[in-house]
């Protein structure tokens, strides 16, 4: 049972992540060291792991992934270097650099799998274990990664579509913020299946939120029958919130992924929900898995993806999540 296995692993290891740095957890004086009797020699060896994502500069979503990876590195006593570049060619170059540096493991997001195939292949050929995260789960095994950590974008999209349908949305604007990202395309397809109404796509640039607001506003003003907006990124969600207000539209807004601003907007009733893929785990778990693989040849998931979501943050639970988002772990 792929789904159950992923959720169980997420729950167990996610709990470990949140408790690993708490007072009294054992290990180092700052609480970040390994507990006595923990996994085999996890902290006895130094190591260097590279996390290379397709994140553009200033994307708050990936800051949380970085926080998770670095916290895991501290927890296991290994070095974690994080780099991101939204250009697939430059992301491939970063992977090549990590291979040449002979790191002990590579974590990579694959928004554009075909563009990264050669670079990931070089890492695998060099016998460097690779774990994929976030996007590209469908190609992960084919490329030789030992597992994928993320959420099923199709399932998450259907869930979002069903929630919007329940709110009376019949014509939806699905806002894509990264051209060519296969995961975003899957989210919009899933939303179309879940909602059952008309879904129109709009391309914006996550690196230019002022322009994103302007484009969403213009589309809502030109078609008053659009009564729903689904964004696929928390920063774009705030841009869409402003666009809805500026345009005078009554469109209902849902989004993927969390930030402190999105949680506040949910509490204020400006955003209906956020699909939460718990991206902190997409940083924490791969480092954990790579250490386990290095020290004990464990391959978590049995060749199947390890799911980190989806969950939903709504007005009912936003207050509980708010403090965690402010601390950079949600």
State whether 179 and 145 are in the same domain. no
The confidence score (pLDDT) of residue 163 equals 96
The confidence score (pLDDT) of residue 330 equals 84
State whether 72 and 167 are in the same domain. no
Q: Assess if residue 288 is contained within a domain.
A: yes
Please provide the DSSP assignment of 236-271 as one string: HHHHHHHHHHHHT---EEEEES--HHHHHHHHTTSS
**CB neighbourhood size of 101 (10 A):** 11
pTM of the model: 0.77
3-state secondary structure string, 167-218? CCCCEEEEEECCCCCHHHHHHHHHHHHHHCCEEEEEECCCCCHHHHHHHHHH
Domain boundaries, position 190: 153-276
Pairing type for strands 147-151 and 198-203 reads unpaired
**Number of domains within the chain:** 2
| Contact between 285 and 150 (Cβ < 8 Å) | no
State whether 159 and 272 are in the same domain. yes
Q: Assess if residue 319 is contained within a domain.
A: no
Q: Assess if residue 267 is contained within a domain.
A: yes
CATH of the domain at 175: 3.40.50.2300
The confidence score (pLDDT) of residue 34 equals 38
The confidence score (pLDDT) of residue 13 equals 46
The confidence score (pLDDT) of residue 41 equals 43
CA gap 61, 57 in Å, rounded = 11
Q: Assess if residue 69 is contained within a domain.
A: yes
State whether 92 and 80 are in the same domain. yes
The confidence score (pLDDT) of residue 45 equals 67
Sequence-distant (≥ 6) Cβ neighbours of residue 172 within 8 angstroms? 161, 164, 191, 195, 197, 198, 199, 200, 226, 227, 228, 229, 230
State whether 290 and 271 are in the same domain. no
State whether 293 and 216 are in the same domain. no
State whether 192 and 241 are in the same domain. yes
Q: Assess if residue 190 is contained within a domain.
A: yes
State whether 113 and 188 are in the same domain. no
In tens digits, the chain (330 residues) has pLDDT values of 333 334 434 434 443 443 333 333 333 333 333 333 344 444 446 899 999 999 987 788 899 999 999 999 999 999 999 999 999 999 999 999 999 999 999 999 999 999 999 999 999 999 999 999 998 998 999 999 999 999 989 999 999 999 999 999 999 999 999 888 888 999 999 999 999 989 999 999 988 999 999 999 999 999 999 999 999 999 999 999 999 999 999 999 999 998 889 999 999 999 999 999 999 999 999 999 999 999 999 999 887 899 998 999 999 999 988 888 778 888
Q: Assess if residue 99 is contained within a domain.
A: yes
Please provide the DSSP assignment of 147-167 as one string: EEEEE-HHHHHHHHHHHHHHT
State whether 88 and 163 are in the same domain. no
Encoded tokens for 189: 């397809």
Q: Assess if residue 304 is contained within a domain.
A: no
State whether 76 and 109 are in the same domain. yes
State whether 98 and 203 are in the same domain. no
Q: Assess if residue 260 is contained within a domain.
A: yes
End-to-end C-alpha distance for the chain, whole angstroms: 27
| CA-wise closest residue to 136 among 145, 124, 128 | 145
The confidence score (pLDDT) of residue 7 equals 41
CA gap 83, 323 in Å, rounded = 26
State whether 229 and 88 are in the same domain. no
CA gap 43, 294 in Å, rounded = 11
């Amino acid at each position: 049972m792929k789904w159950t296995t992923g959720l169980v692993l997420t729950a167990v290891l996610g709990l470990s992540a949140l408790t690993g740095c708490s007072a009294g957890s054992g290990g180092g004086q700052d609480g970040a060291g390994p507990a006595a009797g923990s996994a085999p020699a996890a902290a006895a060896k130094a190591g260097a792991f590279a996390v290379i994502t397709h994140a553009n500069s200033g994307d708050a979503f990936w800051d949380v992934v970085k926080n998770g990876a670095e916290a895991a590195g501290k927890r296991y006593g290994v070095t974690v270097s994080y780099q991101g570049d939204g250009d697939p060619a430059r992301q491939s170059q970063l992977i090549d650099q990590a291979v040449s540096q002979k790191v002990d493991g590579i974590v990579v997001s694959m928004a554009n799998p075909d563009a990264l195939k050669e670079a990931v292949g070089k890492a695998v050929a060099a016998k460097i274990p690779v774990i994929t995260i976030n996007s590209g789960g469908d190609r992960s095994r084919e490329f030789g990664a030992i597992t994928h950590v993320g959420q099923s974008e199709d399932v998450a999209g259907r869930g979002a579509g069903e929630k919007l349908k329940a709110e009376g949305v019949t014509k939806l604007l699905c806002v894509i913020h990264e051209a060519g990202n296969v995961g975003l395309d899957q989210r919009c397809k899933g939303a179309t299946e879940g909602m059952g109404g008309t879904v129109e796509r709009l391309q914006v640039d996550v690196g230019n939120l002022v322009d994103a607001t302007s484009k969403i506003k213009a589309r809502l003003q030109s078609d008053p029958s659009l009564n729903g907006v689904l964004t696929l990124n928390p920063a774009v969600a705030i841009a869409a919130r402003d666009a809805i207000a500026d345009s005078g539209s009554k469109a209902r807004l849902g989004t993927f992924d969390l930030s402190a601003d999105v949680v506040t907007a949910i509490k204020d009733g400006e955003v209906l929900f956020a699909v939460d893929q718990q991206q902190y785990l997409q940083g924490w778990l791969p480092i954990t898995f790579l250490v386990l693989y290095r020290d004990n040849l464990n391959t978590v998931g049995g060749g199947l993806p390890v799911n980190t979501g989806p969950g939903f943050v709504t007005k009912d639970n936003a207050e509980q999540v708010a403090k965690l988002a402010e601390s950079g772990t949600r």
